[in-house]
Chains A and B, each alone.
Chain A
Amino acid sequence: MPDDRDVAVLGVGMHPWGKWGRNFVEYGLAAARAALADAGVSWTDIQFVSGADTIRNGYPGFISGATFSQALGWSGARVSSAYAACASGATAIAAARAQILAGLCDVALVVGADTTPKGFFAPVGGERKDDPDWLRFHLLGATNPTYFALYARRRMELFGATEDDFAAVKVKNARAGAANPNARYRQEVSVEEVLASPMVADPLRLLEICATSDGGAALVLSSMDFARRHGRSAAPVTIPAVSTVTPRFPQTVIEMPNFATDSAVAVGAVDGPAFRRSIAFAAYEEAGIGPEDVDVAEVYDLSSALELDWYEDVGLCKEGEAERLLRDGDTALGGRIPVNPSGGLSSFGEAIPAQAIAQVCELVWQLRGQAAGRQVEGARVGVTANQGLFGHGSSVIVTG
């Protein structure tokens, strides 16, 4: 792997996920302080602050980089604030990494945090008849689980996935999450309990759809040179690749919040992988590795069924083989390629701007051997995968 594209992860930190309704800045601040302490870097040494924005907490959320900087105490650091829906965290990581690789700064702080309302995510308020995110609720009653369920049902019909498979993903993730002190849900569940939970969007049940949560996550990233001079470890965990790709035309899988896909009339099918698959593969290419090199993955299980799609889209198996991987126990802790050892969104719920950062935190703990109770033994290479509304790819490779 080309070292000249590596940045070091000096520190990681999280505020536990939950549902308290407190100010999101409090969660971000706690995560930032934890990451700085983990790195052994003082706040006033941070040269660049990269915030992942939240759109549900008023103006401070839109300029989160400055908001977190103010909470830590104005230091004169340069700043960026980025919104990319679920991919906001990866976009904030990408901004910090680019600053470091360009030589514009040596050490950066990445922070994302959110406070979420109860129940289904709804669009931002007001009557906005030119906003597809507003219109899909108004004209279709299409919530986020509607889209998750469309993918799940198609998986059942095309590849023979069963309701038991979807429940088994939840059981696996709940077991891992029970061992994670930062997870919101820390109770194991049985297949029977999952299948007894209310149907929300057929075939997905309440326990198979990720909740909306409060939480915060942060990273301290630096140049390899800074890490050698100031880092606590002679061989820190590194990030050799960050993928923030967009789809390629025509995008023929229906995507939230759209009413329709692209039309493939003019150009036929896209030459190459579909969008979700292109996300991690762009990261593999940048890192000079392939999916066969991966020891552990954190993927965006907005639903239990979607985790199975990700097995294929990050290249852990061929299309249509995810159920076999699951049934063989390959993706459970102790299996050949554990997926979501953190417990995933299943155990955390979604704190949107913090989530992609939290995925990296988990991989760093895994690669350092610090994931007590859920450790993937001997993990050296990890991949995250995630996708933001409207077409923001998000994948980070972590090596250690």
Chain B
Amino acid sequence: MTGAKTRVPAVEGWFTTDADGPALLGSRCRSCGTYAFPRQTFFCGNPGCEGTEFDDVPLSRRGTVWSYTDARYTPPAPYVAADPYVPFCIAAVELAEEKMVVMGQMVPEVTVDDLAVGTEVELVVDVLYEDDDHQYLVWKWRPVAGSGGSGA
């Protein structure tokens, strides 16, 4: 009865769950504009900047695949794997506006054959694992239909 389960983020404050457009939640330095993910609250990574104030900002919802792989064997704890285990893909995705690369799992139905460097993907929120009462959510990437791979 998955419909009855409460949906909660697997980690607090890393992404928004708006039904019409979930986004990763990053930070942007008020002094130099440098982005960070996960959010940075007390230093700016730019060595030429001593900024201490940051705005929380949603990051670009679309990007292009920098590289990709899959996980054929069950990752060790603290990963919570389904039983039986189903392999999944992981991609590192370039965000043009933020000029950074962010990792994420791909949505379950994608295989490496669907992906290429440069494939356009968009962010979705999906179930990472569940227990009796909850579905724990995480961000994942999904190919944009018609871009590079087969789409999903």
How many angstroms between the C-alpha atoms of A261 and B36 in the bound complex? 8
**Interfacial chain B residues near A140, Cβ < 8 Å:** 90, 103-105, 138
A interface, size bucket: 35 or more
CB contact under 8 A between A259 and B79, given known A201-B69, A202-B72, A265-B35: no
**Interfacial chain B residues near A157, Cβ < 8 Å:** 67, 116-117
Residue pairs across A and B with CB atoms within 8 Å: the count is 147
Q: Do B32 and A150 touch (CB < 8 A)?
A: no
Taken residue by residue from 149 to 173, chain A's Cβ proximity to chain B (1 for < 8 Å, 0 otherwise) reads as 1111110011000000000000000
CB contact under 8 A between A141 and B138, given known A265-B34, A265-B98: no
A59 within 8 A of partner (CB): no
Within 8 A of B (CB), among A260-279: 260-267
CB contact under 8 A between A259 and B38, given known A138-B10, A198-B72: yes
B interface secondary structure, majority: loop
Name the segment of A92-100, A118-126, A378-386 touching the other chain: A118-126
How many angstroms between the C-alpha atoms of A127 and B80 in the bound complex? 13
Q: Do B79 and A141 touch (CB < 8 A)?
A: yes
Q: Do B75 and A150 touch (CB < 8 A)?
A: no
Residue from the list B37, B68, B138 in contact with A260, Cβ < 8 A: B37
Q: Do A137 and B76 touch (CB < 8 A)?
A: yes
Min CB distance B23 to A, Å, is 14
CB contact under 8 A between A201 and B99, given known A137-B79, A139-B10, A265-B33: no
Taken residue by residue from 1 to 37, chain B's Cβ proximity to chain A (1 for < 8 Å, 0 otherwise) reads as 0000000001100100000000000000100111111
Of chain A, the residue at the smallest CB distance from B9 is A139
Min CB distance B83 to A, Å, is 14
B52 within 8 A of partner (CB): no
Taken residue by residue from 245 to 271, chain A's Cβ proximity to chain B (1 for < 8 Å, 0 otherwise) reads as 000111011100011111111110000
B70 within 8 A of partner (CB): yes
Min CB distance B42 to A, Å, is 12
Taken residue by residue from 115 to 136, chain A's Cβ proximity to chain B (1 for < 8 Å, 0 otherwise) reads as 0000110110001010000111
**Interfacial chain B residues near A262, Cβ < 8 Å:** 34, 36, 45, 100
Q: Do A119 and B72 touch (CB < 8 A)?
A: no
Q: Do B11 and A129 touch (CB < 8 A)?
A: yes
**Interfacial chain A residues near B138, Cβ < 8 Å:** 139-140
| 11 pairs of residues in contact across A and B, judged by CB atoms under 8 Å | A138-B80, A139-B10, A140-B90, A149-B70, A150-B68, A252-B100, A254-B92, A258-B103, A259-B37, A262-B100, A266-B32
Interface residues of B, Cβ cutoff 8 Å to A: 10-11, 14, 29, 32-38, 45-49, 66-73, 75-81, 88, 90, 92, 97-105, 112, 116-117, 128, 138
